[in-house]
Amino acid sequence: MRGRVLASWLLLGMVLIAIAVVAAPGSSYSNQDRDLPLAGSSAHHPAGTDALGRDRMVRVAAAYLLCLAGAICASAITTAAAAGVGTLSAFSPESLGRLGMLVCDVFLALPWLFLLMMVRSALPLTTSPAHSAAITFLVLATLGWPACARAVYRGACDLRNAEWVLQVRAGGLRGRQIARHVLPNLVPLLIPQFLICIPAFIIAEANLGALGLGIGEPLPSWGGMLLELDNSAMLLQTRWVYLPIALLILILLLLEAIAVEA
């Protein structure tokens, strides 16, 4: 219990610090200090600058707020969708259940890359970076559920056949009340899925930048900063390039600590 409270306070504290850094007067995530690209830490730039001379600390703080909010919402939607589809399929008549899983299989095998390209071509080119970010996370959320849905379906099927559930159903409970009794038992499947999806979506958003979706310049993209790690030239240039990944791991560990069961 103490661990959970401590972790929640820490997380809240980080969010407040990030807001303070971004909202501080004079700090800008897009201002390019062109004389100091890839500089180390200095009084003016505590965490150094990136390749275009923009202050890294402000960019990381802004990316933290933007991407964390987006990724957590998208993860929540995906996990909820997976839970919903899985549970519904399990507790419906068998044919509907099979149909649900058929849709799931088809969904898994289709090449969604091309749908994403179509989404990009349907959007006007002058979509603002913020809108583009929101749309990207929304699209990711709608595509991530099939993998987990099958596992939830399996788990829910077993629960359905468990004795206490049979008793409950025989006793006359229906629909929403079943969900209330069943879902807590599926939590060991849903929480790890939620936690795994967060970094996956952050990186996926950056990879979607190759298709034209993703967070547009000059808004900072956390996934984009993580992808800088694959450039060995960057890794050798400055230590501050590890800041985003360190923060991400810290946040994920804090979320794990909050989500632990008593």
Segment holding 74, helix H or strand E = helix 56-91
Give the C-alpha separation, 106 to 124, whole Å: 30
Contact 100, 89 (CB under 8 A): yes
**By CB under 8 A, residue 81 contacts other proteins:** no
Q: Candidates 56-64, 69-77, 175-183, 191-199: pick the segment binding other proteins (CB under 8 A).
A: 191-199
CA angle 161, 164, 166 (to 5 degrees): 50
Q: Which is nearer to other proteins, 40 or 177 (CB)?
A: 40
Among the listed residues 69, 73, 191, 243, the single contact to other proteins using CB under 8 A: 191
Question: Which of 235, 249, 234, 241 lies closest to 199 in space, CA to CA?
Answer: 249
> Which residues, at least 6 apart from 40, have a Cβ–Cβ distance to it below 8 Å?
48, 238, 240
Question: Which of 175, 150, 161 lies closest to 97 in space, CA to CA?
Answer: 150
Burial of residue 90 (number of CB atoms within 10 Å: 0-12, 13-18, 19+) = buried
Paired tokens of 171: 């006793």
Among the listed residues 67, 209, 221, 240, the single contact to other proteins using CB under 8 A: 209
**Four-CA torsion 120, 123, 124, 125, nearest 10 degrees:** -20
Among the listed residues 48, 100, 199, 220, the single contact to other proteins using CB under 8 A: 199
Question: What residues from 128 to 187 belong to the interface with other proteins (CB under 8 A)?
Answer: 128-129, 147-148, 150-155, 157-158, 161
Question: What residues from 54 to 73 belong to the interface with other proteins (CB under 8 A)?
Answer: none
Give the C-alpha separation, 219 to 61, whole Å: 11
Among the listed residues 1, 43, 125, 170, the single contact to other proteins using CB under 8 A: 125
What is the Rg, in whole angstroms, of the alpha carbon atoms belonging to the chain?
22
Among the listed residues 19, 72, 179, 192, the single contact to other proteins using CB under 8 A: 192
* Closest approach of other proteins to the CB of residue 260, in Å: 6
Q: Which is nearer to other proteins, 45 or 150 (CB)?
A: 150
Interface with other proteins: number of residues (CB under 8 A) = 80
Q: Which is nearer to other proteins, 20 or 235 (CB)?
A: 235
Among the listed residues 8, 27, 41, 127, the single contact to other proteins using CB under 8 A: 127
CA angle 164, 176, 142 (to 5 degrees): 115
Q: Which is nearer to other proteins, 65 or 101 (CB)?
A: 101
Task: Give the contact letters, 212-231, x = binds to other proteins (CB under 8 A), - = no.
Answer: x---xxx----x--xx-xxx
Q: Is 55 helix (H, G, I), strand (E, B) or coil?
A: strand
Q: Which is nearer to other proteins, 20 or 256 (CB)?
A: 256
Q: Which is nearer to other proteins, 3 or 40 (CB)?
A: 3
Q: Which is nearer to other proteins, 17 or 235 (CB)?
A: 235
